Amino acid sequence: MNVKGQMLVMRNIIEIILVIGMAFFFISCLSKTVDLFTGNSGTLPERTFIAFTEQIKDISFSNKILDSKRSELFLEDGQAVVYFEPNKEKMSIFIDASWDTGDKNYDVTIMKPSSCTSSGCVCFLKEKEITTEMDVLGIVTEWHATITPKDATCIPDVKLSLDTCTIGIKNDVVSYTCTDGFLIERHLIKEVEDDFLSFKGNDIYMTTPKNLVLTLTNEADKVSISPRSTES
C-alpha cells in the first residue's frame, strides 16, 4: 500500500474513534439528564430518601384515612433520617444502658438544619460534626453529645409519627428515648459512642439494617411510619 493509501486508512480509523467517543459522551450526558428529571440522581440512600418523602406527600394528599403504602430506606453507616417536630430547633435522644453505676448512659442532641422551617421537617443526614462533653456531678458522670448537620437534605411541611424513638435491634442497650422528634439511623449513635473514648467497644447502641422496608399510613393529621420487615 502506498503512502497515500496508508494516510487514508489512518484518517478513517481516527474518524471512527472520534465518532465512537462522541457517541459515548452523548449517551453519558443523556443518561445524566434523564436521571436529573426522573429523580434518579445521587446515591442510593439519597434516592430512596427522596422517594420516601414523595410517597409521604402522595399519601398525605390522598385524603384516604388509613390508606397505606410500602416504602423503603437505604442507609450507609453513619447516616440517618431525622424528624423534627414543629417549632422545635433540635431533637434529643437519651440512650439508656442501665448499668449498675448508671455512668454509661448518655444523651445526644441533633440540631435542626437551617433549610427546615418552623413546621415539621424530615432530614437525611449525610455529613455531620459530632462534639462530646462530660459533666462530673459527685460520683456520677453525665455524658452529652451534639450532632450538627453539615450536609443534609431536608423536606419541610410534613407531619410524621413513629411509635418508638427509632427502629433497630438492641445491642448492649436498654432503650432510646426521643424528645421533639425521632430518628431512623444506621450506626450514627455508634459513632457518637466511639467519640466517647470511655465507651468505645461497649456496644451501647441499636443496629438498623442497611435496607429498611417501611409502611406509611395516612392518619387524620399525620403520616405514621412502622417497620414492615428488614433485609440485611
Q: What does each C-alpha distance from 157 to 68, 123, 215 come to in angstroms?
A: 20, 12, 20
Among residues of the chain, what percentage have pLDDT more than 70? 73
Mean pLDDT to the nearest integer, 114-123: 94
The pTM for the full model equals 0.77
- Summarize pLDDT for 209-221 with one digit per residue, the tens: 999 999 999 998 8
Q: Are 100 and 137 in contact (CB under 8 A)?
A: no
- Residue 193 is predicted with a pLDDT of 87
| The 3-state secondary structure of 143-183, one letter per residue | EEEEEEEEEEEEEECCCEEECCCCCCEECCCCEEEEECEEE
Residue 37 has pLDDT above 90, yes or no: no
Residue 29 has pLDDT above 60, yes or no: no
- Residue 191 is predicted with a pLDDT of 92
Q: Are 117 and 84 in contact (CB under 8 A)?
A: no
Same domain, 227 and 193: yes
Same domain, 169 and 93: yes
Residue 75 has pLDDT above 50, yes or no: yes
**Least confident interval from 28-37, 122-131, 139-148, 223-232:** 28-37
Same domain, 56 and 7: no
Mean pLDDT to the nearest integer, 181-192: 95
Whole-number Å distance between alpha carbons of 171 and 194? 14
Which helix or strand (DSSP H or E) is residue 13 part of?
A: helix 3-38
Residues facing 176 on adjacent strands: 95
Name the region of 90 (left: φ>0; alpha: ψ -120 to 50; beta: rest): beta
Same domain, 27 and 100: no
User: What's the domain count of the chain?
Assistant: 2
Same domain, 50 and 83: yes
Same domain, 94 and 28: no
Same domain, 59 and 37: no
**Least confident interval from 67-71, 160-164, 201-205:** 201-205
Distance of CA 153 to the CA centre of its chain: 9
- Residue 12 is predicted with a pLDDT of 62
The C-alpha cell that represents 180 in the structure block: 421533639
Same domain, 37 and 62: no
DSSP 29: H
Same domain, 190 and 118: yes
Same domain, 8 and 106: no
Same domain, 92 and 81: yes
Give the structural domain span for 134.
Answer: 43-231
**Least confident interval from 113-127, 132-146, 183-197:** 132-146
Confidence tier at 14 by pLDDT (50, 70, 90): low
Same domain, 35 and 139: no
- 209: amino acid identity, one letter: P
Residues facing 92 on adjacent strands: 109, 179
